[in-house]
Structure 1
Amino acid sequence: MWGFRSPEELEETGASALVAEPAELLPLFERGLLNVDALTRAFTSRGFAFSYFPTANEAARYIVSACAGKSVALGGSMTFKEMGFQEAFADSTEVHWHWVTKGEYYQTPDIYLTSANALSESGEAVNIDGTCNRVAGTLYGPKQCMFVCGINKLCPDLASAVERARNVAAPKNAQRLGTRTPCAADGKCHDCKSPARICRALVVHMGAPKGFEKCEIVLVGEPLGY
């Protein structure tokens, strides 16, 4: 998926983020420049729509435009928080925020917005969830689903995507939530049986679910979320 080109092109895909998060992003750029055409083929061959934006601002404008005048639901997402939602929607959209308004859950919006804990270059999306409202909306109910992911979520294959979800995203979320779990203490998955465990479901989208009118992967060339 990756090939070397000019420094300017590498910068455009998000290489400036190496300064802020070198440990996780360096392996990406050691593989070379992102091949958007190859990624498009990988995801669209599995029935997903695919869009790429070099910056979070460009992606946000696209999402706001796509959602204008429609009902939208969001599960918990650090990606959308870092992108400036809920403010970005203002009054243009009917929004149901599962994690902003406690207990609010809308199963059948026009568009369900979420992120993924990892994406594979072979075209899969991986998510781990505890309450499972977040993954439920990616499987059935909404008319459309949109996964919005930073470049830090991109992994070479499905195995490494699952590894990232379990040993990068889940421990960081456990630490953020202050859970009393082994991963919150040392940042590694122990496949624990703790009552506070937040890893209750591992969902791999091997393709776009049949019930959706559209299921889209939006990749952003900047690091976002966990």
Structure 2
Amino acid sequence: MDKNIDKRIQETMENLRKNNMEPFYCETIQEAQNLVKTLINKGDVISSGGSATLKETGILDIIKGDDYSYLDRTRDGITRAEIEQVYRATYNADVYFTSSNAITKTGYLYNVDGNSNRVSAILYGPKSVVVVAGFNKIVDNLEKAIERVKTVAAPQNTVRLNCNTYCAVNGHCVSLDIPNSHMSDGCHSDGRICCNYVVCGQQRHVNRIKVIIIGEKLGY
């Protein structure tokens, strides 16, 4: 690991800890998989948000295992009504897994969501929230976090989700082409995924949110 990257990770972890979130560092995906198994218990009800990182790391496969009761909103044949039931059942889950669109060196999580089941579960409901992210999601501050979503996370996720948006076609948010714009000004697509913007700062519930940073580039 490059010394500058290592310093960046350590600073981020220190500030997450100050904000009452419990940080972990894993050099490899295998280490992260082993850690995850210590953070969940047999019989736990587990849910997760849509995440390329969880798939890439194999953590999604772990939490879907027979030892746990996984709330699966992507199973074959599921109806829209059943998906809505999963969203609501998630608030009573023991553990919720997700990634984060960006993590600032100052110890904040920044997430932007369309349907917003993901950000709502991060904020309230599940007893424990486990955020898994590659070191590439660490940014200097909230301004850089917003920029990352507009130029990396949103464009790549809209492509993944087959959304017909400006950023899916052009690789960046339309607001970047508009002088003095804010948030996602100029985007009125029905497929827009940037609807609610959430910053997680200092938490009241100490260590409810756990953040696993992996020493590899992962996700969007």
TM-score range, shorter chain: 0.7 to 0.9
Aligned residues: 197
Deviations 1:203-226, CA, capped at 9 Å, x for gaps: 111123x35762111101101110
1:97 matched residue in structure 2: 72
Cα distance in 2 for partners of 1:213, 1:44 equals: 8
1:201 matched residue in structure 2: 196
Match of 1:222 among 202, 216, 219: 216
Cα distance in 2 for partners of 1:200, 1:99 equals: 22
- 1:74–1:98: 8 Å Cα contact kept in structure 2? no
- 2:12–2:104: 8 Å Cα contact kept in structure 1? no
- 2:113–2:119: 8 Å Cα contact kept in structure 1? yes
1:67 matched residue in structure 2: 40
1:78 matched residue in structure 2: 52
CA-based RMSD: 1.8
Does residue 160 of structure 1 match 2:144?
A: yes
Does residue 169 of structure 1 match 2:163?
A: no
> Percent identity of the aligned residues?
32
Shift of 1:62: 0.8
- Which is bigger in relative contact order (C-alpha 8 A, separation at least 6)? 2
2:6 matched residue in structure 1: 34
Deviations 1:142-174, CA, capped at 9 Å, x for gaps: 111111111110111221012112221011001
Structure 1 gap segments, 5+ residues each: 1-8, 11-28
In structure 2, what residue type is equivalent to 1:42?
N
Shift of 1:47: 0.9
1:88 matched residue in structure 2: 62
Task: Give the secondary structure class of the aligned counterpart of 1:62.
Answer: helix
In structure 2, what residue type is equivalent to 1:218?
I
Does residue 44 of structure 1 match 2:38?
A: no
TM-score (norm. length: structure 2)? 0.83
Does residue 109 of structure 1 match 2:93?
A: yes
- 1:143–1:212: 8 Å Cα contact kept in structure 2? no
Deviations 1:176-215, CA, capped at 9 Å, x for gaps: 112111101011111201111111111111123x357621
Structure 2 gap segments, 5+ residues each: 175-183
Cα distance in 2 for partners of 1:151, 1:100 equals: 30
Q: Structure 1 residues 211, 44: closer, same or farther in 2, change over 3 A?
A: closer
Match of 2:128 among 126, 144, 149: 144
Shift of 1:33: 3.5
Cα distance in 2 for partners of 1:170, 1:79 equals: 15
